[in-house]
Amino acid sequence: MTVPRSTLRLQFHRGFTFDDAARRVEYFAALGISHLYASPVTTAEPGSQHGYDTVDYTQVSAECGGEAGLQRLVEKLRAHGMGLIVDIVPNHMGVGGSSNAWWLDILEWGRHSPYARHFDVDWHSPDPALRGKVLLPTLGAQYGDELAAGRIALRFAADSGRFLIGYGPHVFPVCPVDYPAILQSADRADLSALAARFQGLTTQPADQPRAAEARDALREFVAREGESALEFVLETYAPEDPVTRDRLHRLLEKQHFRLAWWRTASDEVNWRRFFDISTLAAVRVERPEVFEAVHALIFRLYRDGLVDGLRIDHIDGLAEPREYTQRLRQRLTELRETTPYVVVEKILGRGEALRDDWPVDGTTGYDFMNDVGALLHDPAGAEPLARTWSELTGRSPRFADEALDARRKILAENLTAELDRAARALHRIARDSLTTRDFTYPTLRRVLTELVVHFPVYRMYPQSAVRSAADNVYFDVALAGARATLPRSDHAALERVNAWLGGSAEEPPPARTGAPAGAGSSGATGAAQAQPQGPNAGPPSHVNSARRNAQALFSQLSAPLAAKAIEDTACYRYGRLLSRNEVGADPGEFALSVEQFHAGNQERAQRFPHALLATATHDHKRGEDVRARLAVLSEIADEWSATLRAWSTLNAPQRRALDGTPVNSVSQDKSDAWAPGPAAEAMLYQTLVGCWPPQLRPDDDAGVKELAERVAQWQLKALREAKLHTSWLAPDEAYEAGCREFLFDILAPQRRDGFLKELAAFVERIGRAGALNSLQQTVLRLTSPGIPDLYQGTELWDFSLVDPDNRRPVDFAQREAWLAPTQTPPSEFLADWRDGRVKLAMIQRVLALRTHLPELLSQGAYLPLAVRGKHAASVIAFARRHGNAWAVVVASRLAARLLGVDEASGDAAAPGTQADLPLVDPARWEDTAVEMPADLSARALFDWLSPAAPKVDDGLLYLRDALTVMPVAVLVEDGVPRS
Query: pTM, whole model, 2 decimals?
Result: 0.93
Residue 517: the pLDDT is 36
Q: Which amino acid is at 155?
A: R
* Residue 667 CB-half CA count within 13 A: 5
Please state, in angstroms and rounded to a whole number, the distance separating the CA atoms of residues 243 and 850: 75
Residue 540: the pLDDT is 61
Residue 338: the pLDDT is 85
Burial of 480 (0-12, 13-18, 19+ CB in 10 A): exposed
Please state, in angstroms and rounded to a whole number, the distance separating the CA atoms of residues 763 and 27: 32
Q: Which CATH number fits domain 101-277: 3.30.1590.10, 3.30.200.20, 3.30.70.330, 3.20.20.70?
A: 3.30.1590.10
CB contact burial 265-298 (16+ within 10 A = b; e otherwise): bbebbbbbbbbbbbbbbbbbbbeeebbebbbebb
Residue 939 has pLDDT above 90, yes or no: no
Residue 53 has pLDDT above 80, yes or no: yes
Residue 361 confidence class, pLDDT cut points 50, 70, 90: very high
**Tens-place pLDDT, residues 903-916:** 755 556 677 677 89
Please state, in angstroms and rounded to a whole number, the distance separating the CA atoms of residues 587 and 580: 5
Element (H, E) at 251: helix 242-253
Residue 534 has pLDDT above 60, yes or no: no
Residue 663: the pLDDT is 74
- Residues whose CB falls within 8 Å of the CB of residue 683, separated by 6 or more in sequence, listed in order: 572, 575, 578, 718
**Tens-place pLDDT, residues 146-189:** 999 999 999 999 999 999 999 999 999 999 999 999 999 988 89
The CATH code that applies to domain 812-973 is: 2.60.40.1180
Residue 542: the pLDDT is 75
> What's CA 637's distance to the chain center, in Å?
30
Residue 266 has pLDDT above 80, yes or no: yes
3 state SS for 921-970: CHHHHCCCEEECCHHHCCCCEEECCCCCCCCCECCEEEHHHHCCCCCEEE
In three-state secondary structure terms, 816 is: helix
Q: What is the DSSP letter of 464?
A: T
Residue 902 confidence class, pLDDT cut points 50, 70, 90: confident
Alpha helices in 651-698 (DSSP H): 678-691
373-383+583-763 is a CATH 1.10.10.470 domain: yes
Residue 662 confidence class, pLDDT cut points 50, 70, 90: confident
Residue 537: the pLDDT is 43
* Domains of the chain, residue spans: 7-91+285-364, 101-277, 373-383+583-763, 401-509+538-570, 812-973
Residue 913: the pLDDT is 73
The residue ranking higher by pLDDT, 656 or 6, is 6
**Domain 7-91+285-364 is classified in which CATH homologous superfamily?**
Glycosidases (3.20.20.80)
Residue 822 confidence class, pLDDT cut points 50, 70, 90: confident
Average pLDDT over residues 358-372: 98
CB 747 within 8 A of CB 706: no
**Tens-place pLDDT, residues 443-474:** 999 999 999 999 999 999 999 999 999 999 99
Q: What percent of the chain has pLDDT over 90?
A: 89
Residue 339 confidence class, pLDDT cut points 50, 70, 90: confident
DSSP-based helix, strand, coil % in the chain, nearest 5: 50, 15, 40
**Tens-place pLDDT, residues 182-233:** 999 988 899 999 999 999 999 999 999 999 999 999 999 999 999 889 999 9
On average, the pLDDT of the chain sits at: 93
CB 510 within 8 A of CB 522: yes
Q: What is the DSSP letter of 122?
A: -
**Tens-place pLDDT, residues 833-883:** 999 999 999 999 999 999 999 999 999 999 999 999 999 999 999 999 999
Average pLDDT over residues 964-970: 98
Average pLDDT over residues 365-371: 98
Average pLDDT over residues 933-943: 90
**Tens-place pLDDT, residues 715-743:** 999 999 999 999 999 999 999 999 999 99
Residue 672 confidence class, pLDDT cut points 50, 70, 90: low
CB 56 within 8 A of CB 27: no
Closest CA to 349 of 468, 256, 458: 458
**Tens-place pLDDT, residues 280-330:** 999 999 999 999 999 999 999 999 999 999 999 999 999 999 999 999 999
**Which of 163-172, 578-587, 659-668, 792-801 is predicted with the least confidence, judged by mean pLDDT?**
659-668
Residue 513 confidence class, pLDDT cut points 50, 70, 90: very low
Residue 528 has pLDDT above 50, yes or no: no
